[in-house]
Structure 1
């Protein structure tokens, strides 16, 4: 007797053992395990090794391991056999495993169908965090290589002991025989100002006995405060000294900066709070291009208020993302000399145009060797970018100086021995979205001293451009609505006039996403305005970025004029002697409705054209315009006559159409006519 095969839960990549027990076996017992894979391939493995040919299945005996044990104490003739291997979804899901026990040359077999194999999900580190323009944080996690596809996953917001479910989205993808999952949620960055706040993602899969989770707090965010590469800077303004300490790359906006002093020779560290001796303005933060925050802490004092022995000033920054505060320091003395080098005003254009390159120049005299020049871009007094010369790494983050190039133009010996004159340039291309309210500062660091000069442009312009030709449309009353779109200008003030008259129609001005403006201007004309081919509609505009007016024109003869008279060919019917014939065709897409039509006739063999007059012989239809849905006109032209051999055979009729949109009249011809006789058929004999 053979019991059913016992099988645990199959986990992809983990060893699995199948048990098969047989009872009342006599004599020698042979065990054969048969594995029939889902692709139809069959393997037999016995307790003596693989029965497949070694050259065909050299690894089979290593992939499948078979053991056989006798246990006479449990029951006489009791045999237990085990098959051990590592299941693979692509090979074993849907396969059949058989255990064949052969004793006394009588085989007994039990089968087991592999209906499920599980693959445990792998959590991918690191978790991805992304900042939005609105200050939200998008958190994204990935789980990979699990099977089957079903997965329970949820996001939770935790404050104290309570949890609240967070809306999320899940995207699944197939990776071979397993599945991958990416899930995202978005939470307000303000919540992470609380160090105890946590976001939890929790998942449960059929391959797992218990759910697993990952907690994230402000400490897990990738945006931790950084101190500037250079130490605290001293800026001398007469007897007053300003100490500046810049902190950047932090999020959320929850930075605290404290100043401390330690007198030389003392170990006591005192927090600075005296408003009489020191001034500490309130710190303000600024949003950077990478959506993190930056701020500059300032402490100012009078040089003569310092101790003669000197004072060490410490700038300490605290933030929820930091385990311990970060700090930097500088030692100042009463007799510290102000810098002796000369920094000239920054030179450059006062008027900037969006999209046109600008170069500013900063020159300093009597500098020592090794002088450094740093350009700073500031908004509302807060530094948002620092640019070192020729690729020097100032911020450690190259995106900060994106679009700015600083270059050392020259370094020359000055007229004072051992000193140098230096000139540095900053080149960039202004845009309305980035440069409306910014200033550019040139900072010189020489022999431990700092001097700065700031440049502020007077005007920032973006030049207007016409997006296309004047657009014309027809009104229900038969008039023409003219319009033009002017785009990409700044500031918003712009003058518009049509045919040298200021339009009475209000211009519709809108602001674009890049900070520039667009205007839609309209002007109404009567339909008869274009009845003369020399009529021209002109729109002109003037903006602060332009030296003079610019304009666009449109006439009926322009290629962009939307209505050109379309003259059809003249279809020629069968012409029979003495029977009434009609030559008819259409002229469509006509505007304005001032069509002129002339019928002409060329005699057989002749070259002269003779006008066809409406009379008893030739009936010329009256010109009647038919208004169409698109508000243009269509004319049906018709000439009726009774052809004869003597007057029409070989003759040619020509219709000449004139319209203001046509540079030359359009002519359509029947070609030489052929007249057929209209004779009765002979009677049958």
Structure 2
């Protein structure tokens, strides 16, 4: 007799055709599989016997109903018999009725949904779990929406209460998953506990399908003019691998999206599929080279992803993408002195887009700029880009290093900067000693140093002398002359520091030191002049003659000078034209050979100074000017060679 486990069952018998109901005795007994007999008391908690009150029948006999209410379990009741025993004075021996060995059955329970699983063989498997059923045999069948029977494997396990669990797994071929809205069914029926089969159904579009594509947002790259750019998204955790990705583009000024495959210069790409226990993954992208502001500035892209698990495609759209050009430093940070002891700091950036750019200047550790920089915007129509010159004026005494300019532009992920590390001031004074080959005994002499290229104009000059014996610098305080500095075209300053003194015999091989202090110098800078010789003045120069000649179409003027000592003679050629004096220098027009001093028998010197040129302007007057330590004033000789052209013999033949 089959009954369901843990389900109440009522075992019942009818007793009739007896008299004297008070003498009727009804008892229930349980006979175990091993033969042991157990009496079931009236008030048993698990087994509940009950006998109704006897009822008189039309023939004056009595009848009643006796029952046993049980909730069977497999371990306790499987194969047991339940016996009803009736005793009455009218019976010689008690009457017994037996249920026979009970067959306890358990209905399979399905408490988990059908589960999906991926294998390392890139196959999908469906799992169905059925629990605590008895007997073991159960019929199960898997099918797909194309009405094909799918193969499955069933695995059983025995529970401690003698029931069974079963797992049925079904491998789903990939070709069955790519049909429109594919569904998969499983049907099972258990003999003895189920009159009708049960069914479960799953589909790829179910909300709990585990391998629906996950699509990231599209990247929104900055478009750099003329450089390949990629818009992409990652697609992951999908199965099967049948994925369709479509790209669309909406160019500037367009009304709608157009497939990129119909447009140039766009190219769509899908990377190679990667497989893991969570499904396939890939990267979908579209590439192009921004080349036109009119089309690509503000371009938008849309990506649509289709998959058998999706009722509707997944869409991702970029923001408008704008072309940018990163600034290029064409002139690095420069410092230039300017008016009123200010320093002009400047930098030049070019070839950037769009035009909005922010530049800030900092000096040393000072992050707060008190002086507003000037920004000059430049426009390059040829390449549709912009440039900028940023300038900042700052008093020289507030200039600290490093000087740094920082700019921010939407083409850059982070600000960039350019800096000038130092020195503290780039305009250090340059000292040049003017030629002083010797000193003339008992004659006032002038020692000079030209100091140039410095800024600001705050300059301190000190003179020192070193005597031959001690070689210790001694400050010189008299005879010093330092004129006001002169502003040069580059806004730096220059001056000539002079020292006047009259040497004696004690000053032989004297060394003079010009020491300069300036804000640009950490240490004073000095120039040494000497040791200088003391010479005795022996002769005063005089100009013997001034001769002219013509050779090969060139005039030659020769000036004979003699009777001078020492030989520190300086000759300068001057030209006077239209009442204006002009110093003649050696160049492609005028040839002025170097002077050669010749010692004479009386220990004086003589030389010949010459000037050659091709005449072009009538009426020019040439002057030979001679300077010598023995002269208070230069001496001069004048000649008009062009007026003498007709009187001079031509020696060209």
Q: TM-score, normalised by structure 1?
A: 0.41
TM-score norm. by structure 2 comes to 0.43
Larger Cα Rg: Structure 1 or Structure 2?
Answer: 2
